[in-house]
Amino acid sequence: MSGPALRQLDAHRSIHEAAYGQVKDMTEVLKRLYHEERTKEAKQAELILIEHWRDHIISHATSEEEGLYQDIRETYPEMKNTITQLTRDHDLLRKILTRIEESLAADGRAEDRLMLYDSLLVVNWHHSRDEEHYLLDL
């Protein structure tokens, strides 16, 4: 059973908006640090940003999969394909974040990671809108 905030459109949208706003702002700070060639600070900021993605966005996704998505699948079996697509979005977020972590650990190109952070933002934004539309307007 999912928590009540996950089932209410306004509350769930607030969770999405707050988390998205935080990672978007943090990504902008990260870009500025690299642009200013403050590499050591930028790498520290990346670690914080990665942790934030894991602790807020990914943990929220896991909660949805373990609660909300299962509840909806049981109540609305016709939503199976939609749930599968939304779960795939979560998988993409996890894969992109893992790729960022691997690149950072291997001292890969910052430009490549910045592109991946932008990808996270795009996937997350579209996913949240789809989730709100398809699951929370039921």
37-55: average pLDDT: 98
Q: What is the pLDDT of residue 135?
A: 86
Q: How confident is the model at residue 10 (pLDDT cuts 50, 70, 90)?
A: confident
Number of domains, the chain: 1
1-24: average pLDDT: 81
Q: How confident is the model at residue 12 (pLDDT cuts 50, 70, 90)?
A: confident
**Which DSSP letter does residue 8 get?**
S
9-15: average pLDDT: 86
How far apart (Å, rounded) are the C-alpha atoms in residues 138 and 7?
10
List, for residues 83-135, the tens digit of each pLDDT value.
999 999 999 999 999 999 999 999 999 999 999 999 999 999 999 999 999 98
Which residues constitute the domain of residue 41?
4-134
Round the average pLDDT of the chain to a whole number and report it: 93
41-61: average pLDDT: 97
Total residues belonging to the chain: 138
Q: How confident is the model at residue 138 (pLDDT cuts 50, 70, 90)?
A: low
CA distances from 32 to 25, 35, 39, 107, 126 (A): 11, 5, 10, 19, 25
Q: What is the pLDDT of residue 34?
A: 98
Identify the sign of the CA torsion 77, 6, 24, 103: negative
pTM score, whole prediction = 0.91
Residue 91: CA count within 13 A, CB half-sphere: 6
